[in-house]
Amino acid sequence: MDHLRSDADLANPVVLLTGATGGLGRELARRLVEAGMRVVASARSSASLASLIHNLPAQAEVRGIPADLERPGEAGSLARAATAVWGRLDVLVNNAGVGYNALIEETDEEAARRVFEVNTFSPLALIRAVLPGMAAQGHGLIVNIESCSGRGATPTRGVYGASKSALAVLSNTLRLECEPLGIQVLDVYPGTLNTDFDDHAYRESGRPGLCPQGECGTDPGHAAERIVAAMARGSGELWLDSRARLIARLAALWPRWLQRTLRQLRD
């Protein structure tokens, strides 16, 4: 990852990974340490972090910091604590996220605020906290795990999609602003993954998710491999599901076509 190395001493980039104990997060943590990176892993549960670290290779350089990103202000504290572990941060991976399955008319405002706190405001706070250090180093990489739901309307995914759409606009703007600073920005659109993400989503009226674990989706280990490979290339977009990418692009051109295609999900 030459874009992360400003001198010979930076042989092992330091990564802050949020959502490190979820399905994709666990696989990312493993691939990152296997690639020789030092990882500061964060999640809500101290026990889950301890289990994650225990199951990583013995030689892995990894530290766990529990943080609840639903709490306003928690992201800034996490960034400071993560930077203190090895004295710097070279990579931020905004992987933490929470789903919400609800029609707009039945949306609970408090639940919607929690979704935006995790999916939008916490990544923004983390980005703002790490940018000065990365700019001073003259290098850095910010990876935002986006969602195809943020690129097109899907019934029952309005609030979740809106939170991810906001993150996508922030990320695209950030890429333009950070280019002169030597900081790379990578947007990842995983598509549907075979994880327990939908099982932990907020929901109203028992609304089901789009992909219950074990029934569909890409293997998160394969997704993590592709993400780490894309990190070596730097800025840009990575779409792990070519069909989702096609749908997103068609939806931008012909939104009424998408409405007709997805109407059955509404019903």
Tell me: the pLDDT tens digits for 54-88?
999 999 999 999 999 999 999 999 999 999 999 99
**pLDDT higher than threshold 90 for residue 261:** no
User: Does any domain span residue 112?
Assistant: yes
**pLDDT higher than threshold 80 for residue 135:** yes
Contact criterion met (CB below 8 Å) for 214 and 116? no
Q: Please give the structure tokens belonging to residue 252.
A: 């931008």
User: Does any domain span residue 32?
Assistant: yes
Q: What is the CATH number of the domain that holds 173?
A: 3.40.50.720
Question: Whole-prediction pTM value?
Answer: 0.87
CA 236 vs. chain centroid, Å, equals 15
Contacting residues for 53 by C-beta, under 8 A, at least 6 apart: 41, 60, 62, 64
Name the band, by pLDDT with cuts 50, 70 and 90, for residue 147: confident
Residue 166: Cβ-neighbour burial (10 angstroms; 0-12, 13-18, 19+): middle
User: Does any domain span residue 95?
Assistant: yes
Name the band, by pLDDT with cuts 50, 70 and 90, for residue 8: very low
In the predicted model, what is the mean pLDDT of residues 226-250? Answer: 82
Rounded distance, CA 168 to CA 149, Å? 11
CA 92 vs. chain centroid, Å, equals 10
**pLDDT higher than threshold 50 for residue 6:** no
Give the model's pLDDT for residue 155. Answer: 78
For the segment 84-128, what is each residue's pLDDT rounded down to a tens digit? 999 999 999 999 999 888 899 999 999 999 999 999 999 999 999
Q: DSSP letter at 119?
A: I
Rounded distance, CA 52 to CA 34, Å? 14
Q: What is the number of structural domains in the chain?
A: 1
User: Does any domain span residue 94?
Assistant: yes
CA 100 vs. chain centroid, Å, equals 16
User: Does any domain span residue 229?
Assistant: yes
**pLDDT higher than threshold 80 for residue 9:** no
User: Does any domain span residue 1?
Assistant: no
Which positions are annotated as active-site residues?
160
Domain range for 132 is 8-266
In the predicted model, what is the mean pLDDT of residues 171-197? Answer: 89
Distance from the first to the final alpha carbon of the chain:
47
Q: Please give the structure tokens belonging to residue 47.
A: 């026990």
* Interhelix angle 74-86/122-137, nearest 10 degrees: 30
Rounded distance, CA 29 to CA 219, Å? 15
User: Does any domain span residue 3?
Assistant: no
User: Does any domain span residue 230?
Assistant: yes
Give the model's pLDDT for residue 243. Answer: 67
Give the model's pLDDT for residue 246. Answer: 62
